[in-house]
Amino acid sequence: MRVYLPATIAMLSELSSSGEFLPVNGTAFAVTPALREFYTSGSTEELEYAALLEAARASLRLIASERDLADEQTPVRTRRVVVSADLDDVTVRSDLDDAVVRLSGSVPMTSVAAVHVDTAEAESAVSVAAEVVDSADLGDQDAELALGDVEDHELAWYAPQEVPFLLELM
């Protein structure tokens, strides 16, 4: 199953150096039966894109969390990151949300199909959205607009072997 793992630049750097990705709480997103049911029409590609966007929104929460834990000497990169991987050991968790799945362990680099990362142009929108993502979930209209602004930015696609070069250029 293709899964979409929310991440940050720091987590992507760890994947690059260690060769494995440890998803936070084992959480990922995928095309689940509940997601298919929610979108009464749409191709598999469109449903995969919906799952990718859910992971991108979760990436905003991870960025916000990194900011909360960071000190002044450690800047937090404000780009959404989604790691796409092909895995067999996936548990659907529709009780949490339509696209949520749980993984039982780490994801080896050999299972990574692609990495999706915001471009530099998106950084200011990502920064704002990371601050208000929880408020948007609670119905704040201004926060929803900020999320809409960040979602106007498409994530760039990178092959797994390009990740070290991407990180070096940042």
Residue 103: closest CA among 16, 18, 29: 29
User: Which pLDDT band, with edges at 50, 70 and 90, does 72 fall under?
Assistant: low
The C-alpha atoms of residue 69 and residue 21 are separated, in whole angstroms, by 20
Residue 35 host element (H or E): helix 33-38
List all residues 6 or more positions away from 152 whose beta carbon is below 8 Å from its beta carbon.
125
Residue 87 pLDDT exceeds 90: yes
pLDDT of 75: 64
- Of residues 130 and 75, the one with the higher pLDDT is 130
Q: What is the pLDDT of residues 11-70, one digit of tens each?
A: 999 999 999 999 999 999 999 888 888 887 778 899 999 999 999 999 999 999 988 887
Q: How far apart are CA 144 and CA 149, in angstroms?
A: 9
Contact in structure between 95 and 33 (CB atoms under 8 Å): no
Task: Note the pLDDT tens digit of each residue in 102-153.
Answer: 998 999 999 999 999 999 999 999 999 999 998 998 989 999 999 999 999 9
Question: Which segments within 57-146 are labelled E, that is strand?
Answer: 81-86, 90-92, 100-103, 107-108, 112-117
pLDDT at 73: 63
Residue 119 is inside which H or E element, if any?
A: none
Predicted TM-score (pTM) of the model is 0.92
